[in-house]
A and B are shown apart, each in its own frame.
Chain A
Amino acid sequence: MSFDAFDAWWWPYLFILLAGWLATDSWRYLGVYLGGKMSEESDILVFVRCVATALVAAVIANLIVFPSGALADSPLVLRVGAAIAGVAAYLLARKQILAGIVVAETVLLTGLYLIG
């Protein structure tokens, strides 16, 4: 039962509700319910944060290494180089996300227009 499994107009919305809304808001409601009962320092939360962080990092790496669409035609070296330049700028600018974005995009766009 994938996103494209049924032709009905409502199926994608049901898919988004179940795999998207339910899968995220359950955690938020659980958070309200637990309220102050749980310490942010508790060890199980360190593990949970590690897994969640690694999962999102894997998504990011795949978006850079195996992109689809308009980015797919660009060289891998350019994408990785732009990402590294962005992270370096972010760290040098004392963790300003905007600096990282501007530098990474500048490197990428310069490369894309040079290649033509």
Chain B
Amino acid sequence: MSENATAESSSEESHFAWYLRGVRRCFSIPGLVLVSAFIGFAGLAREAGLTLPQTVFMTGVVWALPAQVVLVGAVLAGNSLIAAAFAVALSSVRLAPMVVALTPEMRTPGTRKWVLYVLSHFVAITSWVLAMESFRHVPRHLRTAYYTGIGSTLVLVNMGVVATVFLLAESLPVQVTAALFFLTPIYFLTSLWGSARERAGHVAMILGLASGPVFHIVLPGFDLLAAGGVAGGAAYIWHRSRVRREMGK
């Protein structure tokens, strides 16, 4: 009995200890970069006319910066709910394969399903990279606790960051506001390049950058979907022809 209790309390302790290690893992360069990106996002949302509670709410429930930027873009363009949801869904497809890659690393035979579903909400580029880097140093049955630490900390800290920027933005000089606004595109220019899994990702990115402004003028309202389909499709065709060429050799 007493032995059991000791074992239980020490296991609980180690769960908490690994949760705290997850929390600490966020205070790192990737965490800092993410904060700067959310500073930029808060500036963007504020310029788009969203309120503080709406933006904090969006950060908590969506928790994927590309999706949030697309959603704010759709709000700015006055898109309908369906068009906005479609564009956001397209920009978030990447989350499914990321979760597919992460989940097996956290799962043990005893892991409850709902825990994995709840934790999947935290999956976004930064938390995913941090977890994939660190998991091999974490005992398998404590990885859910560790990831809870990473995910919940990143979400809560950045909800706070968004609120703070909203409160401070009015007193900032216009140059600083402009610089905050510029953080979002520059963060994605670099992180998107770095996260590409194959060369086709780089091709898709360059074509997407070039075609975005073109479709913005030619096909306003459908610019994002058109750019995604045309530039992404072209990159995929490039990928197929390259694979075929390599197979032919």
Q: Decide whether A and B assemble into one complex.
A: yes
Which residues on the B side are within 8 Å of A64 (C-beta)?
185
Q: Is A38's CB under 8 angstroms from B97's CB? A: yes
Determine if A40 is an interface residue (Cβ-Cβ < 8 Å): yes
Which residues on the A side are within 8 Å of B74 (C-beta)?
3, 19
Q: Is B120's CB under 8 angstroms from A52's CB? A: no
Q: Is A16's CB under 8 angstroms from B62's CB? A: yes
> With A and B bound together, what is the CA distance between A20 and B191 in angstroms?
22
> With A and B bound together, what is the CA distance between A20 and B57 in angstroms?
10
Q: Is B181's CB under 8 angstroms from A58's CB? A: no
4 A-B pairs with least C-beta separation = A31-B99, A57-B208, A58-B212, A51-B232
B54 CB to closest chain A CB (Å) equals 5
Q: Is B117's CB under 8 angstroms from A32's CB? A: yes
Q: Within residues 65 to 102 of chain A, which ones have a CB less than 8 A from any CB in chain B?
A: 65-71, 73-74, 79, 82-83, 86-87, 90, 95, 97-98, 100-101
B246 CB to closest chain A CB (Å) equals 14
Q: Is B62's CB under 8 angstroms from A56's CB? A: no
Q: Is B200's CB under 8 angstroms from A108's CB? A: no
A residues contacting B by CB (< 8 A) are 1-4, 12-13, 15-32, 34-38, 40, 45-71, 73-74, 79, 82-83, 86-87, 90, 95, 97-98, 100-101, 104-105, 108-109, 112-113
Q: Is B182's CB under 8 angstroms from A104's CB? A: yes
Q: Is A54's CB under 8 angstroms from B211's CB? A: yes
B residues contacting A by CB (< 8 A) are 29-30, 32-33, 36, 43-44, 47-48, 50-51, 54, 57-58, 61-64, 66-71, 73-76, 78-82, 84-101, 103-104, 107, 113, 116-117, 120-121, 123, 174-175, 177-179, 181-194, 196-198, 200-201, 203-213, 215-216, 223-225, 227-233, 235-236, 239
- The chain A residue sitting closest to B217, CB to CB, is A66
Q: Is B78's CB under 8 angstroms from A40's CB? A: no
Known: A50-B239, A105-B183. A21 touches B223 (CB 8 A): no
B85 CB to closest chain A CB (Å) equals 4
Report 19 cross-chain contacts, Cβ distance below 8 Å, ordered by A residue.
A2-B81, A36-B104, A40-B100, A50-B203, A52-B92, A54-B230, A54-B235, A57-B206, A61-B209, A61-B210, A62-B212, A62-B213, A71-B181, A87-B189, A90-B193, A108-B182, A109-B175, A109-B179, A113-B175
- The chain A residue sitting closest to B46, CB to CB, is A69
B32 CB to closest chain A CB (Å) equals 7
Q: Is A56's CB under 8 angstroms from B188's CB? A: yes
A80 CB to closest chain B CB (Å) equals 11
Given A24-B63, A54-B231, A57-B206, list of 16 further CB < 8 A pairs? A2-B80, A19-B71, A23-B92, A27-B93, A27-B95, A32-B99, A46-B239, A50-B200, A50-B201, A55-B91, A57-B208, A60-B188, A60-B212, A71-B182, A95-B193, A97-B194
- The chain A residue sitting closest to B198, CB to CB, is A46
Q: Is B80's CB under 8 angstroms from A31's CB? A: no
- The chain A residue sitting closest to B102, CB to CB, is A31
Which residues on the B side are within 8 Å of A60 (C-beta)?
184-185, 188-189, 192, 209, 212
Known: A31-B99, A32-B103. A55 touches B190 (CB 8 A): no
Query: Contacting B101 at CB < 8 Å: which of A40, A74, A112?
Result: A40
Query: Contacting A31 at CB < 8 Å: which of B68, B76, B95, B200?
Result: B95
